[in-house]
Structure 1
């Protein structure tokens, strides 16, 4: 790693949550770590479900005021041995009392912006997908060692929802 890369990582990554609002930071902070995930995704054009395995790495950033994750998959062709598929940045907005979420998956052409709030024993993220349809992403069954995540989409402005993705993960580190 070059000095510039090292300084960038040092400036971005935080050791932990900001002490200013620890309870709020715990919402996504409980996911900080490395996860082995198995997911299935619906191809809406064909109706076929595709399964995949990936690693999800989550870390505090921006002096502990945000959480960023990266989704990586094993790759025989990439020099690092893995390919980064997507990233999400989740920033707590203390004025709104909610989390602002931006998700980017450039190779898939997916870009979403959502607002996250507590939901039952998990987290609900509501927003708009790349195609303009409402999306809802729910983290449920969050424990120290695992979580379930589901992605939903609506074709009628939120009157009804259908499942398009389901992931389950176990903590690795």
Structure 2
């Protein structure tokens, strides 16, 4: 296969833009379509220590414009591409439910999450569960043309209280 040419899977998966069936709903996550430089921090729940990390976040329309998928890329000196894909999230708008169904996969750390996303203040709130069954909440607290802020929360008492375990701040590259 010619490495310069997209694979048939990529051609079939990627969409040139949002579906015209419900364009306003597609804007919720569609406004994130592009490439982002991200600075993040994560809490190690076992030690209570925070660690910083940087990555590239690429977001695009898929499935005939009915969904949005992202990939999180981290630099790698051992990969021939110069990066490793650490995680991907697929967000599909469900017109019957009037909400977004979100599934996130991070196989390198064994994390698989399922959430429902709805509008929240000036951003998006995503509520669901992570692999260990604990409730999680991922909030895009602000989304602008050239930046976004995101927070990850977990509850160890079925939603009684929430602990912040992650933050990302993205700056649009394209």
- In structure 2, what is the Cα distance between the partners aligned to 1:140 and 1:28? 13
- In structure 2, what is the Cα distance between the partners aligned to 1:46 and 1:2? 46
Partner-residue secondary structure (3-state), 2:7: helix
- In structure 2, what is the Cα distance between the partners aligned to 1:145 and 1:54? 16
Partner-residue secondary structure (3-state), 1:141: strand
Q: Which residue of 2 aligns with 1:136?
A: 137
Q: How does 1:1-173 map to 2 (within 5 A)?
A: 1-2=1-2, 6-173=7-174
Partner-residue secondary structure (3-state), 1:78: coil
- Give the structure-2-normalised TM-score: 0.97
- What's the CA shift for 1:21? 0.3
Q: How many residues matched?
A: 173
Structure 2: tracts of 5 or more residues without a match: none
Task: Tell me the C-alpha RMSD between the 2 structures.
Answer: 1.3
- What's the CA shift for 1:5? 5.7
- Give the structure-1-normalised TM-score: 0.97
User: Structure 1 stretches (4+) deviating beyond 3 angstroms?
Assistant: 1-5
